[in-house]
Structure 1
């Protein structure tokens, strides 16, 4: 399906979005290998409250939550503004798509969690943004979360191989930015998962997803969205 995401400044971008109700076991996971990438490649490892080793092990989570709804969102590079396309800095290209997709999926995950009375476990994309612009309490040297109701862990932080999972479940390929290919990457794709305990919760998640998407304009950050035609 296509979802039209409109920023607070009034710029609109078509987002390809899809979801599937699955068994949690269908997600590909390898906690040691995936979190090992975090350990060797990210400064937030053992520092931020939403990152490993503070994040739970997915292989234990799926024992408690045997079902899930997996959601992905994709923004094609052809819709980047001319100013972004003209940049020679890979970060500008990457970050433009990353911000839109992360904001959309994070707020959708929060809304689905709220609608389903916190009976599900939300696995986000990227680092925890529960404190907004404030510094993570763990980074300040404290051993507790200042906003536990807003705290999230990413799929990767819990050991899920997102690339392999999206290939297996949706048969889609991820593309990655580097310093030499920023003008040829065709799209960016990000994903979240909502874990649940029974089929009734899973059905409620699936049934409420479109309504939650339509209601995101009430968040108060100025962005909004609507459904368009299928891409």
Structure 2
């Protein structure tokens, strides 16, 4: 499925979106190994959505046996010319990261808020507050618990292996030398619940959820959407 993400500045980018309904136990996780990779990040033991404050995925799936994993992919050839001309690898990384993170975060909230008893595991650090995280200020409570999210990785999910096994997607990783060679970036989120009846409901509503996002200028299925996609495929 293709989605046209439009920024606040009116620039649009084609995003490949895919999803699968899985039994939660089929998602690959290793809490100790995966969360140990977070230790080099400045948000570790500080951010409210990061380990060790995040729950163990084992405890999540004890309560929620059904899931949907959603990925979004942005090809590097669609970077702006300004980004392509930049020699700072972080600029290349952040361009794709911001678009994919914003899209998946808003989509995850949209699906979660449409149903009861759903756990939403996001990508990256928690973006539930517009202000600085309370935990980073030394406080021991979340200022906005209804918007607080944990990432899949923070709970121990091996996103790389899960995407390989269930979607045949190989992740590519930016570093200081390879930023011109990265072909795409992929990020993923998951939603977890008990009632497998929700699988059909979420599936039926998926496109309408996407079309209702603030980043949707071109409604999926519309004539102008198809015309815009053709422009990107040239």
Question: What interval of TM-score do these two structures reach, taking the shorter chain for normalisation?
Answer: over 0.9
Distance in 2 separating the partners of 1:122 and 1:100? 19
The SS at the match of 1:139 is helix
Greater shift in the superposed pair: 202-211 or 42-51: 202-211
How many angstroms does 1:8 deviate by? 1.2
Within the alignment, does 1:106 sit opposite 2:105 as a pair?
A: yes
Instruction: State the TM-score, normalized to the length of structure 1.
Output: 0.93
Distance in 2 separating the partners of 1:65 and 1:204? 17
Greater shift in the superposed pair: 196-205 or 169-178: 196-205
Distance in 2 separating the partners of 1:201 and 1:12? 31
Aligned to 1:216: 213
Greater shift in the superposed pair: 198-207 or 177-186: 198-207
| 1:31-70 equivalences in 2 (<5 Å) | 31-39=31-39, 41-70=40-69
The SS at the match of 1:29 is coil
The SS at the match of 2:71 is strand
The SS at the match of 1:208 is helix
Within the alignment, does 1:130 sit opposite 2:128 as a pair?
A: yes
Aligned to 2:73: 74
Aligned to 1:25: 25
Aligned to 1:220: none
How many angstroms does 1:135 deviate by? 0.5
Within the alignment, does 1:151 sit opposite 2:148 as a pair?
A: yes
Aligned to 1:204: 201
Instruction: State the TM-score, normalized to the length of structure 2.
Output: 0.92
Distance in 1 separating the partners of 2:177 and 2:26? 34
- CA offsets, 1:106-138, max 9 Å, x none? 000011111113x20000000000002x11011
Distance in 2 separating the partners of 1:138 and 1:162? 25
Distance in 2 separating the partners of 1:116 and 1:209? 13
Distance in 1 separating the partners of 2:53 and 2:202? 27
The SS at the match of 2:135 is coil
Distance in 2 separating the partners of 1:107 and 1:96? 17
The SS at the match of 2:137 is coil
Distance in 2 separating the partners of 1:42 and 1:127? 10
Distance in 1 separating the partners of 2:59 and 2:185? 29
| 1:114-125 equivalences in 2 (<5 Å) | 114-117=113-116, 119-125=117-123
Greater shift in the superposed pair: 193-202 or 153-162: 193-202
How many angstroms does 1:203 deviate by? 2.5
Unmatched runs of 5 consecutive residues or more in structure 1 = 218-222
The SS at the match of 1:164 is helix
Indicate conservation of the 8 Å contact 1:17/1:71, yes or no.
Answer: yes
Once superposed, which parts of structure 1, at least 4 consecutive aligned residues long, lie more than 4 Å away?
A: 228-231
